[in-house]
Structure 1
Amino acid sequence: MKNILACLLPALLCSPGVSQQPTPADNQTVIVTATFEPVPLSENDRSVRVFHTDQQPLLFNDLESYLRLDPSVDLQERGPGGVQADISIRGTTFEQSLVLLNGLRINDPETGHLNMDIPVPLDAISRVEVLHGSGSTFYGSDALGGAVNLITTEPQRTAVQAGIGYGNYGSTEQHAVGAYLARHWSEQLSGSRETSSGFMIDRNYRTSAVSSETWLHTALGSTDVLLAASDRPYGANQFYGNFESFERTKGWFGSVRQQLGAKSEADFGYRRHTDVFTLLVYDPAVYQNNHIDTAWQGDLRRADRPGRNATVAYGLEASGDGINSSNLGQHARNQGAGYASLDLRALKRLSLSIGAREEIFSGGDAVFSPTAAAGYWLGHGMRLHAAAGHAFRLPTYTDLYYSDPTTVGNPGLRPESAWSYEGGLQWESGGRISFDLTGFRLLERNGIDYSKFALSDRWQATNVQNLNFTGAETTVHLRLPASQQVELGYTGLHASQQPVPGLISEYAFNYASQNATFAWSGEFAHRVDARTQVSIVQRVGQTAYPLWDLSVAGSGGRVRPYLRFSNLSNTGYEEVPGVPMPGRTIMGGAEFFWARNRR
């Protein structure tokens, strides 16, 4: 802890004083991820972080750059440029976090390594909400550690923007967005492309994504139609062992969300994903896998308000997924669920919500996942909050059936389950200072990990018993004179079950035991945005390492130049053991922007 604070202190002392447009206050931000019905962030009884990706977008490299602002999120990237990243929340493994797009699941049923294969460009996303703690009552399987919800928003005006950039390691990036706003409908087209020759041999990549989203407004209600596709070929040197490998993934996603009057909504989503993996890039015939998986989901939701301070939400869901794989074979499964919740607000100083979900799987097995949360206003800007909930995860098809020279699955795996508990204090003083401290505990049963006792053995998927996490997370947000924004965050974790002597764990004990962040952002007088961020990460049994990012960008006019530095300290580090990450990287370019005045 002392080492981490020592690293953060110089960055804090060196922050210059400039002017910046303030971000929305907590009482203005409405969240949709931690409840069945939207509530203001300031009234939320769960631990949630919100990042507005449509503000100062030129200052951020990718989605992962936003998520690194949350010290309870541990990103384990195998490469930059959206190539591949594992996401862990509150110490859980990469399989135990759920990724959503507008509340619809986009987790990959083949393997959690591909959960961050986001089908839409970053420019299509306006907000990211991160739920800490169990979320199975709301979304079903996978949300043991939490959930990341990527949210798109209807454009507010007709506009066009396009940018191009160049950097070291032969890197390039291009992006474009076109939005059209009419009286009863609107349309937004987005596209992005990133390439690099690689910072080392066989670490090149070429990622691209496109999306189209249409909004219609009729007497029945609003209709939202989203279509998206992505393509990610990349060198996978050392990704899954001491091999110069190659991998290419493609994704397709489509969804329709339809309001049915003021109280009801129907949603449907479909996802198709392909994954081609070649063990030896220079000799593909030695070993190659080809996986094709699909997933669908549909739901019917309704919310009634029997009283001024009460909301009853309920609904039915159905979903299914399947895979056709040269390695895993052909498999499919379906499930259905029903849920109900009661949310009580403004009961003098108290808020309370309770809910439950019953999920039934093909074959007849069922899981019951209840949750409860409460908040109490103490006055003087202080508020207590607490929550508890049950979560579960079905094994992926890789967990069950995979086999290669280094790894073998286990068809006898049991589903994971966990109970999570949290409680904390929020404090806000006149909009200038906000503080949040939350303690949490996760009690996990039948956790799935890959382990072995000898280096020459293959990794074997097994159930791990009684792996429990205890920790605390805190954030301090300062709005300083001249409208500067400063944020400090820290999360500390401790696992109660120590590794078994002689047992080598691949994932369960690679969590970040300490993670601290410092971030500053502002706007200079001549409309130049700037931000800097320092993160210090310490993984179990490893030395803490710092990552320092710095970026500046124009914020006005038709042409907006930008310059971004990543890992400015040139730190040598590995987020996944054995997979080195690049040193100092630079990306510079310019964006053209045009918008029609609002009617």
Structure 2
Amino acid sequence: MKKWSFILASVALSSGTFAQNPELLSRPQGWAQEDLLIRASGYGGTGISLNGLNLKAPYSAHFNADLPVPIYLLSEPEVWTGLKNSSGYPVGTAVYRILPLEDFLQSTARIGTQERYGAGASFFSAGVGGFIDAEKALRVDYDANDFNRYSGGLVLQKITDEWQFDLLATHRQKIFGAQGYYGIPQNIYAEERADDSLLFMSATHGDLDGSFMRVASAFRRFDNEYRIPSSAFSSSVRSYLSSFMAEGRTLEIQHIALYLRGDLEHEGADGTIGNHHRTRGSILLLPEARFERFTLKAGFNSVFQTGESTEWLPQAGIDFFATDNLKFYAAYSETVQQPDFQTLYDADPYRTGNAAIPLQKSQNSELGLHQYLSAALDWRAAVFNRRQHHAADWVKLTAASPTWTAVDLGALDVVGVDAALNYRASDDLCFGLCYQWAVKDSFSVHSGLYELDYPEHLLGFSGEWQMTPELRLFLKQTLQLQSDNPVRTSDDFGFGASLGLQYAPDFADNLLLSLQVDNPWDSDFQAVPGLRPRPTTVVLGVTMSW
């Protein structure tokens, strides 16, 4: 069986960053943008971290799930919630690590339905690498919604016996039709341009599961232009985020270890929404004591933010190891954040922000278990409760409301259950299965677009199967029953799927052919209420490596 660890992602077997992880649900708008949902969250409660550093989009949390980094650089994402997520986003974080890279050189080309075309090239040799890629498509969901994306960047990596150093410099530009996006009427055309630049550096020492030290820093520039021609409306926002993180865990001495973390970030935005800047810092102190059957953790996260009083957030957890393979746990954690600039200050003919939304606080508790039935099979289950103070959503108070308005929902209680099973039979076959049930408080509004629109039941499956030495199959299937929303004109039941095939012919060691099918069952479920989903799409790809 051939090893295609780098080529796999470059051929783009999935339409989104999270398509192969059953625990991560995305809410796509065409191919231009997708929200990340964890445990029935809204888009503002989740995001991505890279080598421990949160890489939120400084202007709009809608782009928190965007990462201008090639997937081939990254590990499979882990989902962090509860105590593990003490320094992450309020609800959950998709956690990525930069992988140790091997030398390679490759080029790829793609063609598909919706007149979709793409091409790219990438390389890595002697610690230096780079990539360039472009893609375009026509009539993605509505006839006027075309899509263009251009990206490129530089990669540097140095690995010694004890350290891994990484440096990334990337840029990505997306230009796309946005008819029907962000809740505007389906018959209203809009267009958007997003320029996303990232400079990222990190250094890691030690084993992340034991004693370690890690630092990371980033500068991210995100510029957004948005137009609604029929209303003669246009907006232009320039935003940036500078961030630094240092964390580590000490060696265990007399059953005691200490986890320390410090974060500092400064973000700003100026343009149509005005001129806004703010700073946030935090210090997390979390001692842990390990005994024969118990691990105890208890500490606090001290958070200061511009215009806010310092928050002292308790963090605590206990693990009980009933056997060598079975763990029961309980955890409590708190996080805080200020709403993104778009929620506070955005204003267009169909949306009105709300600068009065205060600091948002999330109190998270969960009880669960995790068991390894064998080296190849494990499962987990948890009951969780989340109280979000000053949770926000874009709502219409009545059916006659002409605009979506950002509203402070006050205290929002969320109760749920989630479970997951992972099985790796061999290098040729593995799959994951997850289930989630959640219920939220009801509010006297006509409809909510994000926080109040969520999957009450979610069943996800993803798997990979090396059918023959030359042929590999990828599949993700999601079944979800969404909360009732009068704006959604489709059924509340969705069955989205993504299917991929790779063929590596034995007569050509440097050739890989791929087939990707999104929405193969032609589901009409509206992930964003009122927005027409993408039809069934097919993409063929070819990759050459040297």
| Counterpart check, 1:206 vs 2:145 | no
Deviation at 1:132, TM superposition (A): 2.7
- Letter paired with 1:350: F
| Counterpart check, 1:531 vs 2:483 | no
Which deviates further from its counterpart, 401-410 or 256-265?
A: 256-265
d(CA) in 2 for partners of 1:351, 1:463 = 38
Deviations 1:367-405 (A, max 9, x none): 222222332222263221222100122111122222222
Contact 2:478–2:497, Cα closer than 8 Å, also in 1 = yes
Contact 1:135–1:147, Cα closer than 8 Å, also in 2 = no
Deviations 1:453-476 (A, max 9, x none): 232343222211231111111122
- Letter paired with 1:406: Y
Say if 1:239 and 1:431 are closer, same or farther in 2 by CA, change over 3 A: same
- Letter paired with 1:168: T
Contact 2:59–2:222, Cα closer than 8 Å, also in 1 = no
d(CA) in 2 for partners of 1:265, 1:433 = 31
Deviations 1:499-544 (A, max 9, x none): 31x5432322211111112233211233211122321121102521
d(CA) in 2 for partners of 1:395, 1:194 = 32
- Letter paired with 1:232: K
Q: Which residue of 1 aligns with 2:263?
A: 317
| Counterpart check, 1:172 vs 2:117 | yes
- Letter paired with 1:194: E
d(CA) in 2 for partners of 1:121, 1:55 = 11
- Decide which of 21, 35, 40 is 1:69's aligned counterpart: 21
d(CA) in 2 for partners of 1:425, 1:20 = 37
Q: Which residue of 1 aligns with 2:521?
A: 569
| Counterpart check, 1:591 vs 2:539 | no
| Counterpart check, 1:250 vs 2:202 | no
Contact 1:552–1:562, Cα closer than 8 Å, also in 2 = yes
d(CA) in 2 for partners of 1:449, 1:297 = 27
d(CA) in 1 for partners of 2:466, 2:386 = 40
| Counterpart check, 1:329 vs 2:274 | yes
Deviation at 1:115, TM superposition (A): 1.6
Contact 2:456–2:483, Cα closer than 8 Å, also in 1 = yes
| Counterpart check, 1:78 vs 2:29 | yes
Deviation at 1:581, TM superposition (A): 1.4
Aligned length: 528
| Counterpart check, 1:348 vs 2:300 | no
Deviations 1:238-282 (A, max 9, x none): 1131211100100111122246899654432111010000112xx
Q: Which residue of 2 aligns with 1:579?
A: 531
Deviations 1:294-317 (A, max 9, x none): 110123444432516433132433
| Structure 1 gap ranges (5+) | 1-18, 22-51, 595-599
Q: Which residue of 2 aligns with 1:505?
A: 448
| Counterpart check, 1:452 vs 2:396 | yes
1:481-496 mapped onto 2 (5 Å cutoff): 483-495=428-440
Deviations 1:342-378 (A, max 9, x none): 2344x21222333321111233522222222332222
Structure 2 counterpart SS, 1:123: helix
Say if 1:591 and 1:310 are closer, same or farther in 2 by CA, change over 3 A: farther
Q: Which residue of 2 aligns with 1:30?
A: none
| Counterpart check, 1:294 vs 2:240 | yes
d(CA) in 1 for partners of 2:515, 2:94 = 28
Contact 1:445–1:465, Cα closer than 8 Å, also in 2 = yes
d(CA) in 2 for partners of 1:192, 1:386 = 45
- Letter paired with 1:66: F
Say if 1:480 and 1:120 are closer, same or farther in 2 by CA, change over 3 A: closer
Say if 1:371 and 1:214 are closer, same or farther in 2 by CA, change over 3 A: same
Deviation at 1:198, TM superposition (A): 2.0
Q: Which residue of 2 aligns with 1:98?
A: 47
Percent identity of equivalent pairs: 16
Q: Which residue of 1 aligns with 2:132?
A: 191
User: Aligned Cα RMSD in Å?
Assistant: 2.8
Contact 1:563–1:586, Cα closer than 8 Å, also in 2 = yes
Contact 1:54–1:127, Cα closer than 8 Å, also in 2 = no
Deviations 1:138-170 (A, max 9, x none): 24xxx1210112322231x32112211111110
Structure 1 counterpart SS, 2:366: strand
- Decide which of 35, 42, 56 is 1:107's aligned counterpart: 56
d(CA) in 2 for partners of 1:583, 1:360 = 46
TM-score, normalised with respect to structure 1 = 0.82
| Counterpart check, 1:239 vs 2:174 | no
- Decide which of 351, 370, 382 is 2:326's aligned counterpart: 382
Structure 1 counterpart SS, 2:67: coil
Say if 1:114 and 1:482 are closer, same or farther in 2 by CA, change over 3 A: closer
d(CA) in 2 for partners of 1:233, 1:109 = 19
Structure 2 counterpart SS, 1:66: coil
d(CA) in 1 for partners of 2:429, 2:264 = 47
Contact 1:110–1:293, Cα closer than 8 Å, also in 2 = yes
Deviation at 1:213, TM superposition (A): 2.0
Q: Which residue of 1 aligns with 2:81?
A: 132
- Letter paired with 2:351: T
Q: Which residue of 1 aligns with 2:494?
A: 545
Say if 1:354 and 1:246 are closer, same or farther in 2 by CA, change over 3 A: same
d(CA) in 1 for partners of 2:372, 2:6 = 25
Structure 1 counterpart SS, 2:283: strand
| Counterpart check, 1:358 vs 2:302 | yes
Deviation at 1:288, TM superposition (A): 0.5
| Structure 2 gap ranges (5+) | 485-490
Structure 2 counterpart SS, 1:113: helix
